[in-house]
Amino acid sequence: MTEFFSANDERAPNERPVSAVAPQHLTVEARGGSGTVPLFATGEWNAPQPGVERAVILIHGRLRNADAYFQLAHRARTRAGRNSADTLLVVPQFLAAADVDAHHLPASTLRWEWTDWMGGGTALAPAALSSFDVLDAVLAQLADARKFPDLREVVIAGHSGGGQVVQRYAVLVRGDAALAARGVALRYVIANPSSYVYFDTRRPVGTNGFACYDEAHCAGFNRWKYGLDELPAYARDGNALPDAAALEAAYVYRDVTLLLGADDCDPAHPALDRSCAALAQGAHRLARGRAYTRYMCGRHPQGFAHRTIEIDGAGHDADAVFGSPAGLAALFGDPVRGA
């Protein structure tokens, strides 16, 4: 019998070609060379869109099903009372080599190992570009006042694997300066990721505590993307690595909302990262998100301004999280205040 999975079902196997490739394309150029990525966008991506005041960049999960996330973004935008005249939707697609082969895509198409793009890893071909270079390129396009003269806010959001991308990008982002120079606000919305970047070697113990983790239990527990050891090439400024304290200070200053499904607490969920490095952060996504909030609040007791909001009745479901009142506010309005 054929096994059936809905488009948004994170239990589906991810190591098979995607069913749909986005019709528009973005050219990405950085120190590692150049390439293109497919993307879905409302309107003609390369044409001026005066009147657009907000851009929502939504990152797909591990299934690379950008088409499903584009549909989700449309549904959420409609529920929020927004439309294409004032709110641009953008969903870039991070493809695997199998996707490029199956769909006979141009040689210029960037492709990654199945999940390396989640942590900002470099593409396998045609150039050593990071998935974070892709987001930098999207922000550079949005920062062009000739194309988006009325833009006042950009939101980068992701669920599950996409949430991992957004959390890591918020730590290392290099492409936000042009938007800031124009006075365009940039916000990050992270939903139900499997893990987080920790800024030291402590990990949760017991109900509320933290202690230095014993590396004997997991040799890679503090490697990127779980910690700051062995940062990706994207993080380097020439040959220099960024200072850990500076990365944390910048991250704390950024506008970040963490959305957690109150029912996303299955320690055996098929799409949950159960590596030893992830398990060091907690048994399941809800526990890991709560622990990370406590961790950051404890490190910054004088005013940690990031928001953490639990969505009652939501499990590991992008529609339930982003379609909730708090999710809609985070994506399309003024975020409500959480923990």
Give me the pLDDT at residue 324, please: 97
In this prediction, residue 334 carries a pLDDT of 73
Q: What is the pLDDT of residue 2?
A: 30
Inter-CA distances, 58 with 65, 146, 234, Å:
11, 23, 21
Structural contact between residues 213 and 221, judged by C-beta atoms closer than 8 angstroms: yes
Half-sphere exposure of 190 (CA within 13 A, CB side): 29
pLDDT for residue 9: 58
Give CA–CA dist 129/124, Å, rounded. 8
CA–CA separation, 38 and 106 (whole Å) = 11
Q: What is the dihedral of CA 46, 178, 234, 169, to 10 degrees?
A: -90
Cα–Cα distances in angstroms (integers) from residue 154 to residues 106, 256, 282, in the given order: 30, 12, 31
Domains in the chain: boundaries = 40-91+126-332
77-84, long-range: CB within 8 Å, 24+ apart, which pairs?
Answer: 77/331, 77/332, 79/323, 79/328, 80/328, 80/331, 80/332, 80/333, 81/332, 82/54, 82/332, 84/42, 84/43
pLDDT, position 4: 33
- Which of 3.40.50.1820, 1.20.1440.230, 3.40.50.300, 3.30.540.10 would CATH assign to domain 40-91+126-332? 3.40.50.1820
The per-residue pLDDT for 6 is: 43
Do 133 and 110 contact (CB within 8 A), yes or no? no
Share of the chain above pLDDT 70, in %: 95
Q: Where are the beta strands (DSSP E) in the chain?
A: 24-30, 33-41, 54-59, 87-92, 153-159, 185-191, 202-205, 209-212, 255-261, 307-311
Distances (CA, A) of 18 to 25, 111, 130, 312: 17, 13, 20, 31
Q: Amino acid identity, residue 252?
A: V
Token pair, residue 62, equals 């591990």
What are the pLDDT digits (tens) for 265-324?
Answer: 999 999 999 999 999 999 999 999 999 999 999 999 988 999 999 999 999 999 999 999
How would you classify residue 211: left for phi > 0, otherwise alpha for psi between -120 and 50, otherwise beta?
A: beta
Share of the chain above pLDDT 90, in %: 88
Rounded CA-CA distance 61/64 in Å is 6
Characterize the bridge pairing of strands 87-92 and 54-59: parallel
Instruction: Give the whole-angstrom CA distance, residue 285 versus residue 249.
Output: 25
Residue 337 has pLDDT above 90, yes or no: no
- Tell me what the mean pLDDT of segment 172-195 comes to: 97
Q: What are phi and psi of 5, to 5 degrees?
A: -130, 140
322 residue type, one letter = F
Give me the pLDDT at residue 15, please: 86
Q: Does the structure show a pLDDT above 90 at 7?
A: no
Chain centre distance of CA 301: 26
Alpha carbon 97 to its chain's center: 21
**Distance of alpha carbon 328 from alpha carbon 318, whole angstroms:** 12
Question: What pLDDT digit, counting tens, does each position of 20-77 carry?
Answer: 999 999 999 998 799 999 999 998 998 999 999 999 999 999 999 999 999 999 999 9
